[in-house]
Amino acid sequence: MRVVVPFAPERPKTRLAPVLDEAERAAFARAMLDDTLSALSTLDRERRVSVEPLVLSTAPLDCDAAVVVDDRPLTDAVNDRLPASDSDDPVAVVMADLSLATPDALERLFEPDADVVIAPGRGGGTNALVVRHPDFRVDYHGASVRDHREIVRDAELSLAEVDSFRLATDVDEPADLVEVLLHGTGGAAAWLREAGFSVVTADGRVDIERNSG
């Protein structure tokens, strides 16, 4: 399956500014993209799931996977890659900051035989989806999971949702780094540890701490 991975290499992850400077945010975002591509490539190599990743980048990018540059807003750029007619192949869209995504979690995304498969993200997002029907179009603005359910219903398509903590966890804010440190197994978690981050607990609350030594 064609798997579109949207990525914005310029000024990524601004909400991480309280804990990472601009160059660090770029490096960390890139480590997360590489983790996502690596999980997809493992799935393709080791299981009976054919995966062809296509990085949909807002700017030119040097990358192992195929890259297409499209600087339009996310919704327009993605919709242009979805099936346009019944004879088109299904297309998946997987966000580039799913640092916890494993081959197992992604395999569960590709399993259901529904017109549309959604992996909800925390906070109302749509972190990953599979589109098998030309009548579905994305709208990433706002609480997109609710809008996408409605689009599916209005077009009288079949819907499946994948219940995955790993796919629900996109990494936008400092608190999300706790999840990467506790559950990540790839380059993004290693990058954070290398940068001095660790998980600390105080008063029963869990937080990140950075050792600059």
The interface region with its own copies, picked from 6-14, 17-25, 129-137, 175-183 by CB under 8 A, is 175-183
Partners of 93 in beta bridges: 4, 129
Least separation in angstroms between CB 199 and its own copies: 6
* CA separation for the pair 86, 201 (Å, rounded): 53
Interface characters, 25-44, with its own copies (x: CB under 8 A): --------------------
| Of residues 114-173, those binding its own copies (CB under 8 A) | 120, 122-125, 141-143, 145-146, 163-169
Least separation in angstroms between CB 87 and its own copies: 34
Q: Which of 186, 194, 191, 185 is nearest to 212 (CA)?
A: 194
- Which single residue is written with the structure tokens 């299904």? 90
Least separation in angstroms between CB 145 and its own copies: 6
Q: Is 183 in the site for its own copies (CB under 8 A)?
A: yes
> Exactly one of 59, 68, 69, 182 binds its own copies (CB under 8 A); which one?
182
* CA separation for the pair 69, 209 (Å, rounded): 36
Q: Is 201 in the site for its own copies (CB under 8 A)?
A: yes
Could you tell me the CA-to-CA distances from 174 to 169, 177, 180, 192 in Å, in that order? 13, 5, 10, 12
> Exactly one of 158, 175, 193, 209 binds its own copies (CB under 8 A); which one?
175
> Which C-beta is closer to its own copies: that of 135 or that of 161?
161
Q: Is 204 in the site for its own copies (CB under 8 A)?
A: yes
> Which C-beta is closer to its own copies: that of 181 or that of 195?
181
- The 10 Å Cβ neighbour count of residue 56 is 23
E strand intervals along the chain: 2-7, 52-57, 66-69, 91-94, 116-120, 126-131, 159-161, 197-202, 205-210
* CA separation for the pair 98, 36 (Å, rounded): 6
- The residue ranges that bind its own copies (CB under 8 A) are 102, 104-105, 108, 120, 122-125, 141-143, 145-146, 163-169, 175, 178-179, 182-183, 199, 201, 204, 206
